[in-house]
Amino acid sequence: MVKMAPSVLSADFSQLAEQIKIVERAGADWIHLDIMDGHYVPNITFGPLVIAGIRKITHLTLDAHLMIENADAYLAAFQEAGVNQLTVHVEACPHLWTTIDKIHDLHLRAGITLNPATPISLIEPILHRVELVLVMTVEPGFGGQRFIDAMVDKIAALHKFKQEHKLSYEIQVDGGIDETTAPSVVRAGATVLVAGSSIFGVADIAAAFHRIKTAAEMAKNGESL
């Protein structure tokens, strides 16, 4: 089964609770939280206070993607807000092994993000220590960007490494995911799909969710639309 992690970055924040409930009823597995600080990426989103509010309205896994500098200083705050897993960027964590250990010490699942220009070789020594690898198929910082096709090969390489080394990390993909791009990343080995504007940016959120989910599952089963 391919997991779905709708990104609330693209939701209407005046109707956030209602829209989270819509994707929850539609079958979402995780709620993806894009945390940006205006330094590591050129945008500012939300922090622990908003996440604590989201935690009160859903039982789903809260999947926090930290696009922030000095992530170590905020790990505990996100844990207290109710997240279940924290994914950090290699470039923003100069002592990555220690950061992963700190996330685990908080009893959270840990993930590492690969930007489009970040090679897999940079994280190979620590892949046995994480539960999640997030492949960005757009540049981080803003929603609604166009999918970078070349990232499909990176997903396939991560899947191959995972099999060869008998590892169990999830391969999550974020950026430009919709019903047309979902099949290619799933066939390459993706196990979790993040989708924002393609779900929350349309009138019928549940129908959009189901279109992507159906396309992903058909690809997983070797079928075509």
Catalytic residues, which ones?
34, 174
For 221, residues 6+ apart whose C-beta sits below 8 A from its C-beta are none
**DSSP character for 146?**
P
For 184, residues 6+ apart whose C-beta sits below 8 A from its C-beta are 149, 152, 219
For 189, residues 6+ apart whose C-beta sits below 8 A from its C-beta are 155, 156, 158, 159, 160, 162, 171
Rounded Cα–Cα distance for residues 131 and 110 (Å)? 6
Expressed in angstroms, the distance from the first to the final Cα of the chain is 17
Half-sphere exposure of 38 (CA within 13 A, CB side): 4
Rounded Cα–Cα distance for residues 18 and 28 (Å)? 14
